[in-house]
Each structure stands twice: as structure tokens, then as C-alpha cells.
Structure 1
């Protein structure tokens, strides 16, 4: 700053010098003037001195008036530049933008759906001598009220192992809840409560209509009921994300779930809460987040369109009916070395799934499948893991369908036909 100011002063000085030189050169072109008398010089000096004194008095008077009237403020601060910085920092320059941004969200609808999001308390007894105590807490959504009952959807892992379940309404009132059914693969559970004190029911939207970049809100109870009905805002970061899930905690993924990705904060306790659009329609059920130190803002919700058929089955039947084969398998590279000699395959087969066990009386048993048979295809679709086999079966087939498996046994290819059943029919 000082360099710029010094440069400017130097430029001004140069300009002034040039002007004086031009004036001097111009005087050289004028004819010479006769010498002036001494009396005239003396009078001129006295006149100049008198004029200077009058001018100085007038200038001093003007400056005094300006200071006393505060037109020129007297600065008592030693560093006036700091005062200017503080003033600029206090300028609320983003208030208008935030106000406009929030106008897209319908506050009345958000308030209604917030009242329909409840706390879900998992209660367990530590011993037969004690009463039930809170073992965990999550969130749930009241999605239906009918015939004096209200129905709540939450995550299966929220109520897993509970001996008793309670819900906590937005006014902090607690109601006992009954678990009608739960499903481990979809991570969904349905609760039933007395509907007499339920006043708000969430409006279910459609997850098929949402777009990446659309504003969404996550509503739930992060870290338990202390922060009940918290609301976080974000966008839809991704659609149809495939996330591998280990449902039996054996360290191996045994299911793939399709989810909505969002950067709206989803914390422990938000599970089972609502992911809603700007109009307050539920488009997803908050389920999980990526919890790694190097990751920020990656949360997932079960799309409401995928959840609804499962919710209906859990509400009416208490479980989800899925087609069943009756085998346990391992990928080729997971087979222990001592058993690899039992497997013969042509060189072109590099990926497949090896049958480790066949359940007695199952469709696989009835179709003649055996241990160490290698499955490569189902209905012409390549399968290399139990994950891919389940995904195909649960999305493309139903109980009672007949499927064709391509297998290798003792190095030879066979086509095995079997009829899918429900596990309960065994």
C-alpha cells in the first residue's frame, strides 16, 4: 500500500515538474521586459505580506469551525485502520441470500412431518432381578393411522434384540409399542401403537421422482432423545447407490441394498427417521452413514418406493417372503486349500461360487445339488457370489418360480432345474 502511494506521489511530482518546465520554455519566447523600479518592488512585497497574513487568519478560522462542528472528527484512536476492519467484519452480507434460499422449503409441511417423526427406545433387562433399561435409541416415522391403531416404520437394527419397545412423541409422551415384524436384509421393522394420542401422520412421497442436487432434510433424534426432532439440510448426492451389508456380523457382506445418498447429516440415533423433500414428503428412511475419519457427508436412506412393499408385508404377515434355494456357498478363492482338489473346472472358468453345504429337504436338495458343485449362472446370468445370486433371486424371481442353474461337477457342465420355495415350506 505504501509503495503504491509513494509511486503515485512520484508520478505527481514528475507531472508538476514537466508543467513548470513547459511554462519556463514558454516565457523564453516572450520579449524582454524593461527593469522595474525599486519603489514598485517594495510596494509589491508589502502587499504580498499583508495578503498572506489575511489568508492565514481566514484558513485557521475555517479549520477551527470544522473541528468544533465535528465535520472533521478528532480521532483519539491510535490505529484507525483496525476500527475500519472491525466495522467491515460486522457487515451481515449473507443474510439476504440465506433468506431467499430458505423460501424453497415449506415450513408448515416440515413442521407437520417433524411431529410424525418419533423416538424409538430399545429396552432390555440386564438380569431377571432388574427392570428394563434403555439399551439404544433411534427414530421412526408414523406412516398410517387406522382402526384406532397407528403404525410406525423404523430400522430393524433399532429394535433388534429388544424385550420391550417404546416410542416417544414430539411432546415427550411415551407409548408402549409392539413389533409387528422386522426384516434383516432390508433393515426395516414395523411397530404398532394405540392411535388415540397420535395426531400427525407423515405424507409419503415417491423416491422415483427425486433428482440429484434436490434439497432434502433429514429428521430424527441424533445421539438419542436429548436432541429429539433435529433437522439437518442437504441435497441428494446420488441415486441407486449399491451398498454391501453384513447382516450376520461375520465380517463378510451377504446382501446389497440400493439406497439414496445424501450429504444431510445422519448421525447415530437418526436411524429410522425421515428423509423428506422441500415440501415435507417422505422420500426415504434414514438408515446408515459412512463412518470413517477421512469421510464427511455421506449418508444413506432406503428409498420409500423400495420400502413400501416390505412395510406392507411386515405389517400384515410379520415377515418378508423371499424365494429360497437352500445352499451355503463360498467364492472360488475362499475355498480352503485342503478342499481345492475336490473342484475341477475348465480353464476359462475363473469366477464362480462353490457349494459348501446343501440344506436337507430344500429345493437344492430336491434338485440333486451336491457339495463342491460349482454354480456359474442362474437363468443365463453370471453369478460369482451369494451376493449376486440373492440379488438376482430377490429382484427377478418369486416363490414358486422355476429357475435354471448352470453348474460344473467333476469338470463337466450340467443344467439343473429347480423350483423356488419359501423357507417355511421345508
Structure 2
């Protein structure tokens, strides 16, 4: 405390102040004491004027035997879905050669063979049981939660751990579907309509932040925004190659919450938590995949084990990654062309090859939409329909060309 703020003794008004203080103090005691006595009377507990708390017959402070039944819209919503939120454990082979019996290197791995490797926990996330079909229950989680796993385990709300099978996974939407035995499953979550959400309405996140030690953690916030475009690095090379459309929330989302539920006040899943912005200067910016998108993808993953999308069959490179000298000498682009995508390799027998595209062509328009970069082109490609013809505009040797391409599917190219 600074010197200027120090209390100084008063020389006048002491008696008056003391009387007023006594009156005010008496009023406070009367109000608090009256409330205290009234409460004790209601609870049929003995009251004494000198009690600072509740004491037993030996004069020791103890707790009351009164339990408070607290219910709210939030607790009701959590109760509806918490049993269907699980922890998802990514197990991977770790080479423990040389440590033999100490670490159990003779353990039979998930493929049934015995070698110098054993399965260890490589990462932990969350998931949501969304369907029970006979003896099988289905879990949705994030692709990045189970990516590169050699085996996957699911920890249920009651502590039961079961083996899971990966039914399908999709890197672009960051979603995956698992199946587990249903004999221990008590409840499946229901999905709400993410398109009908209102900015500012309550949002509740349930998951396992930092792993299974904090399973079934609940945080609360609001829907901060809808239809946020969030740049993502899908393949981990440090380059943004996709833009995810997501719900933004300020409900606390931490590592381990990935794949868990974002629910509304009715206890419906409105999103699958996927990511957050984590810097020293940012707080309360988490993102979830909207439930309407989730339902579309998991239905495809259940049926086909993958999402079947139309592709051109080419490798892509943004013009911005090409030097001005090469744009002029190799691509022969007019100087006023500043956006587009350069065709790298063309896959044999692909839609692009059949449509006449060649290496070093620069795509500037796809199906009537301007192509700014690889992200915008991928979005337009994935929006097109299999078997349908689209018009593609591109530059070749400095001249603007057009071609019609019938969209097909492929496994390896964009």
C-alpha cells in the first residue's frame, strides 16, 4: 500500500462513529442472524448464537447432512448426452527391442503376430456414440485422433475399455467412424440442426481434455459465430491446403477434446469439436464441425468406408508459389493474370487427361467460378457431381483456353 492510501487515526467524531457502527453492526447481525435462525428452523437444526459453522456434540466443526439438489437447463442437457461421450485412445507400435520382458515385447500385437514391438498409447482424444445397431455401436471422432493408429481403444463413461474398429476416415473433413461392441453401451446421442443455431445461444463441450485422466469434462460457453472459414494444414507440411467451415465457440476446448461433443441446451449434438486457436494473445476461440456436415460424412463413411468425391486427377500448385520469371518464361502468363492454379502432374486415364489438360496449364475458372488458389479449386471440385460435365478455363502458352471435363473419382490425386 502506498503512503497516500494509509489510514490515519481520527480525532473527532469517535463516539458518534462508534454509535453508528454499533447500530449498523447490530442491523447486519440481525439480518444475517435472522436469516440464519430461519434457515436452521427450516432445516430443523439447533441454532446457537455463537456458531461460526455447524458443530457436532463434541464441539467440532462438521458438514451438514443436507444435500442441495441443483438442476438447470445445463445439467439437464449434460445428463442427456454425457453417457454417450467417450475417450478415444490411439495405439501405435513402439520399438522396444532390447528391453524384452521388462516392457512386454512378447505381447501379441493387433495383427496377431509376435515381434519386437508392442502397442503403446500415442495419443488420446474424444468421441461420441451416435448409433446402436444390434450388437454394434458407432462412434464419431476426428480423423486426426485416430490417424496412423495400429489399434484404437474406446474408454466408456463407466470406465470400461473396449477395442474399436475403424470403419472409415476422411482427412479433408477431419472425421472418422469407429465401431465398438454395444453390450456395455447405454445411450446414443442425437444430432441437432446446426443450420438453425443462433449466435449467442448456449453451447456446452463434453470430452477428455488432456486425455483420459480428465474424461467427461464439461465446459460451457456460447455459439460465437457460424460458418467460420478456418485455414487448416491437412498433411502437416506447414502449408495451408484446406479451409474448414466451422462453428466458433468460447466453450473451453483443449487438446483431448478433439472428437468430443458440442451440444445445445436441449442436449443435442450440434458439432464435433475439432480445433482451437492457441496463442498467448488469443483466448476462447474453439471450433467444431457442424452437425449437419457430420451427419452427411458419417453416413458415407459407414456405407463406403470413405468419402467418394469427384477429382480432376492432377497435382496442384498456386501461382503465388511460382516466381515472376518462371511465370513469364515457363508458363508464359499475361502479366494481368495474378490468380490461378498450375497443373503439375496429370494422372493417366484421369478426368483431367480425358479433358485435355496438360502439365503447366494454369486453371483460372472452374464450373463458372473464379479459381484463386488450390483451396478454392478443391472446394469447387468437391462441390461438383460425379458423372457431370463442367467447364474449365485455363491458360496454355499465354492463350486462354476452355474445355469440358466429365467428373470422375480417383484415390490419389486432387
TM-score calculated relative to the size of structure 1? 0.75
Verify the 8 A CA contact 1:104 1:278 in the aligned structure 2. Answer: no
User: What residue in structure 2 maps to residue 389 of structure 1?
Assistant: 377
Q: Which has the higher helix share?
A: 1
Structure 1 residues 285 and 73: CA distance shift in structure 2, 3 A: closer
- Secondary structure of the residue aligned to 2:80 is helix
- Secondary structure of the residue aligned to 2:303 is helix
- Secondary structure of the residue aligned to 2:284 is coil
The correspondence for 1:126, drawn from 71, 91, 94, is: 94
Q: Does 1:145 align with 2:132?
A: yes
Runs of 5+ consecutive residues of structure 2 not aligned to the other structure: 33-69, 96-114
The correspondence for 1:376, drawn from 354, 359, 364, is: 364
Deviation, structure 1 residue 417 = 0.9
User: What residue in structure 1 maps to residue 351 of structure 2?
Assistant: 363
Structure 2: how far apart are the matches of 1:425 and 1:263?
37
User: What residue in structure 1 maps to residue 78 of structure 2?
Assistant: 110
- Secondary structure of the residue aligned to 1:171 is coil
- Secondary structure of the residue aligned to 2:73 is coil
Structure 1: how far apart are the matches of 2:382 and 2:412?
17
User: What residue in structure 1 maps to residue 199 of structure 2?
Assistant: 212
Deviation, structure 1 residue 328 = 1.5
Q: Does 1:411 align with 2:398?
A: yes
- Secondary structure of the residue aligned to 2:178 is strand
Structure 1: how far apart are the matches of 2:80 and 2:201?
21
Question: What CA RMSD, in Å, does the superposition of the two structures yield over aligned residues?
Answer: 2.8
Deviations 1:86-110 (A, max 9, x none): xx9xxxxxxxxxxxxx976252341
Verify the 8 A CA contact 2:194 2:271 in the aligned structure 1. Answer: yes
1:295-306 pair list within 5 angstroms = 295-306=282-293
User: What residue in structure 1 maps to residue 247 of structure 2?
Assistant: 260
Structure 1 residues 194 and 245: CA distance shift in structure 2, 3 A: same
Give the count of matched residue pairs: 339
Runs of 5+ consecutive residues of structure 1 not aligned to the other structure: 10-62, 64-70, 75-80, 89-101
The correspondence for 2:332, drawn from 324, 328, 344, is: 344
Deviations 1:361-394 (A, max 9, x none): 2111122211111111012211021100111122
Deviation, structure 1 residue 336 = 4.5
The correspondence for 1:180, drawn from 151, 158, 167, is: 167
Deviations 1:220-259 (A, max 9, x none): 0000111110000000011000011111112211111100
Structure 2: how far apart are the matches of 1:106 and 1:208?
21
User: What residue in structure 1 maps to residue 218 of structure 2?
Assistant: 231
Deviation, structure 1 residue 415 = 0.6
User: What residue in structure 1 maps to residue 49 of structure 2?
Assistant: none
Deviation, structure 1 residue 126 = 0.6
Deviation, structure 1 residue 350 = 2.1
The correspondence for 1:248, drawn from 228, 231, 235, is: 235
Structure 1: how far apart are the matches of 2:369 and 2:21?
85
Structure 1 residue runs of 4+, over 4 Å off? Answer: 71-74
Structure 1 residues 72 and 408: CA distance shift in structure 2, 3 A: closer
The correspondence for 2:386, drawn from 399, 409, 421, is: 399
- Secondary structure of the residue aligned to 2:310 is coil
TM-score calculated relative to the size of structure 2? 0.77
Deviation, structure 1 residue 337 = 6.1
Structure 2: how far apart are the matches of 1:208 and 1:166?
32
Structure 1: how far apart are the matches of 2:226 and 2:411?
35
Q: Does 1:170 align with 2:153?
A: no
Q: Does 1:191 align with 2:186?
A: no
